[in-house]
Structure 1
Amino acid sequence: MASRSSRILNNLSIGIRVVAAFHLLQTSVFETSPTSGLSMLPTLRTIGDNVFVNKLNYSRGRDIKTGDVVIAWKPTNCKSRICKRVAGMPGDIVYSNAMPKYSTIAADGIPFEAVVGPENPRTGKYIRVPEGHVWLLGDNAAASLDSRDYGPVPMALVIGKVSFASFWGPWDFFPSLPRRLRSNVTASSMTVDEYLSKDAT
């Protein structure tokens, strides 16, 4: 009887350790997460894409750079997560109104005309990203709720960097092979002053 009880306790202990190890892996090292929505088209599909998030090296914004796709906690809702591309690092100057939005698209259940309308117009201007923050944008700028709406995002809210994505649709038996998400940002040799003077003309 004692031997059977010992085996049960041993198996229970192993099960608890496996669950704890899996939880630690998911929360601190690496996780997969499904994405949905229009904001990252064409990089990510509206439904069916699963992203592979590296938390070990990039948590809280460590080692991320312009052009990286990241998962972060939404500044306006601490229970919601966002998937966006880093468009500005601390000290960078960014244009706060990169593209107007269409009033026919909805985000988080709220029509964009309710977010950006005559009573709340976008005022295009340049801003400098403050220290400890990043500027996040969706690749599909016309259908993205991002830093143009809630401002620079604290790096502490960055959960990790998206390295790969794999499509697994509702009618697919197997997922697709993982594809690497690369930067879509092109480097420029112009200084900030040269760029601003060029834009002014």
Structure 2
Amino acid sequence: MSMWQCCRSAVGVVAFVVPVTLTFMDNVGSVVGVKGVSMQPVLNPDLMHKDYVWLNKWCAKDFQFQRGNIVTLRAPYDPRCTIIKRIVAIEGDTVCPNRRTEECIRIPAGHCWLEGDNVTMSKDSNSFGPVSVGLIEAKATYIVWPPQRWRALNGYFNIPDRVVISGQLQQSHSV
């Protein structure tokens, strides 16, 4: 095989693999590293190591999210930034923000309330209010790295007592 044929074959492979890979990552999912402390202790409990999570983009296509889901989205305060937070309330729920000076907020249709698990170190809906589910890009479903932290991210979640669901205070919810 000549040098020209080898180069042509390599270009053909790249021309196929790159678009297929990008399409997969944009529509199905990808692995990303989580930065920051806002989701501690669930993600990045040890500042010495960074968790990598599987982002399921396929399940975000129908905008069907539940309380307890950990999601990524474009930050409402900076669309160039992607953040990761937990859904604590969905449309129709009522939330009393962490700031006691604010009144309770009923979550409008097509929106949700997001919070970091590390309440004191999170810029979340307590700062910017309810978020359109259209901003959500993916659901984090598994920790895939480091190996000793492999696990699903759909475990038990305690709904804050500041969230009112169907007119009743809820203490916990299984997701």
Q: TM-score range by the shorter chain?
A: 0.7 to 0.9
| Distance (whole Å) between structure 2 residues aligned to residue 159 and residue 166 of structure 1 | 19
| Distance (whole Å) between structure 1 residues aligned to residue 165 and residue 126 of structure 2 | 23
Q: Which residue of 2 aligns with 1:157?
A: 135
| Distance (whole Å) between structure 2 residues aligned to residue 49 and residue 187 of structure 1 | 25
| Distance (whole Å) between structure 1 residues aligned to residue 115 and residue 51 of structure 2 | 19
Instruction: State the TM-score, normalizing by the size of structure 1.
Output: 0.72
**CA 1:125–1:183: 2 relative to 1, 3 Å:** farther
Aligned residues of 2:55 and 2:141 also touching (Cα < 8 A): yes
Q: Which residue of 2 aligns with 1:95?
A: 96
Q: Does 1:140 align with 2:118?
A: yes
Aligned residues of 1:95 and 1:126 also touching (Cα < 8 A): yes
Of 51, 54, 57, the residue aligned with 1:55 is 57
Task: Say which SS state the counterpart of residue 142 (structure 1) adopts.
Answer: helix
Q: Does 1:79 align with 2:57?
A: no
RMSD: 2.5
**C-alpha distance after superposition, 1:68-97 (max 9, x if no partner):** 111111011011111100011111111112
AA aligned opposite 2:41: P
Aligned residues of 1:40 and 1:138 also touching (Cα < 8 A): yes
**CA 1:187–1:31: 2 relative to 1, 3 Å:** same
Deviation (angstroms), 1:165: 0.9
User: Unpaired runs of 5+ in structure 1?
Assistant: 101-121, 169-174, 196-201
Task: Say which SS state the counterpart of residue 16 (structure 1) adopts.
Answer: helix
Q: Which residue of 1 aligns with 2:29?
A: 30
Identity %: 29
Q: Which residue of 2 aligns with 1:184?
A: 157
Task: Say which SS state the counterpart of residue 48 (structure 1) adopts.
Answer: coil
Deviation (angstroms), 1:8: 2.7
Aligned residues of 1:66 and 1:185 also touching (Cα < 8 A): no
**C-alpha distance after superposition, 1:85-122 (max 9, x if no partner):** 0011111111112xx6xxxxxxxxxxxxxxxxxxxxx6
| Distance (whole Å) between structure 2 residues aligned to residue 94 and residue 83 of structure 1 | 20
Deviation (angstroms), 1:4: 5.3
The structure 1 segments of at least 4 consecutive aligned residues displaced by more than 6 Å after TM superposition are none
Q: How many residues align?
A: 163
**CA 1:11–1:75: 2 relative to 1, 3 Å:** same
AA aligned opposite 1:53: L
| Distance (whole Å) between structure 2 residues aligned to residue 68 and residue 193 of structure 1 | 22
Deviation (angstroms), 1:125: 2.1
**CA 1:194–1:79: 2 relative to 1, 3 Å:** closer
Query: Larger Rg: 1 or 2?
Result: 1
| Distance (whole Å) between structure 2 residues aligned to residue 152 and residue 159 of structure 1 | 16
Instruction: State the TM-score, normalizing by the size of structure 2.
Output: 0.82
